[in-house]
Chains A and B, each alone.
Chain A
């Protein structure tokens, strides 16, 4: 269902990771235009980023992050070929993860 795209690039000792996840990110405050009922909340709550198996960053999201969330961050170290793993969990307990190599 869901996919994660990861781009990671190492330059001058700093790796920039850019990631794009497909997720509806429903805040739970929006009304369905046809039925007039609230669309149930469905959003990513937690994202973990790992570099070669070590956690480097954890992000908590609420319903206030845009649909199909984009996230970018930087960390020291990392070389071409190293593995970056991004995984998320949403408020319904669904999860997904993806891995990519640093360029």
Chain B
């Protein structure tokens, strides 16, 4: 119950901030793109995660999206992931660990100044595919790679 309230308060704050921004007539881009994708990070399936963060779950495999991840992760709590992509007009990059209780780990909203490159470290509960999804020119492109996890990093 408390958690729900927390979520509500947070969402309300974001909405409030957006309204204030519009009201003052100064449209700050970081507020416009910066709203936290609450639903996407609550989604328990990949499709919900992608719809929530990138606006669609229709993605096609592309070899232009390069995903660097270890074949075997000895420690599931720290799995280094690098996504790079040579496309133009990249709007966002999401990293999804398919087998996690909450698959979406992180999502990056890029401005046109950004190169198609992000690197971070994620947790993985068990052996599963890692899916890197890039949104470019309104379409989603993806690459996935299986990472074997010997010790899970999501509780237990």
Residue positions of A touching B, CB distance < 8 A: 14, 27, 29-31, 41, 45-46, 48, 50-51, 55-67, 69-77, 91, 93
Contacts and interface: CB of A to CB of B under 8 A. Distances in A.
Interface of B: 3, 6, 10, 28-30, 33-34, 36-37, 40-41, 53, 77-80, 82, 97, 100-111, 113-115, 117-123, 153-156
Contacts of B107: 59-60
A61 B106 CA distance: 4
B113 A69 contact: no
B121 A70 contact: yes
Contacts, number: 127
A60 B118 CA distance: 13
Main SS at interface, chain B: mixed
Contacts of A48: 30, 34
A66 B95 CA distance: 13
Nearest to A93: B10
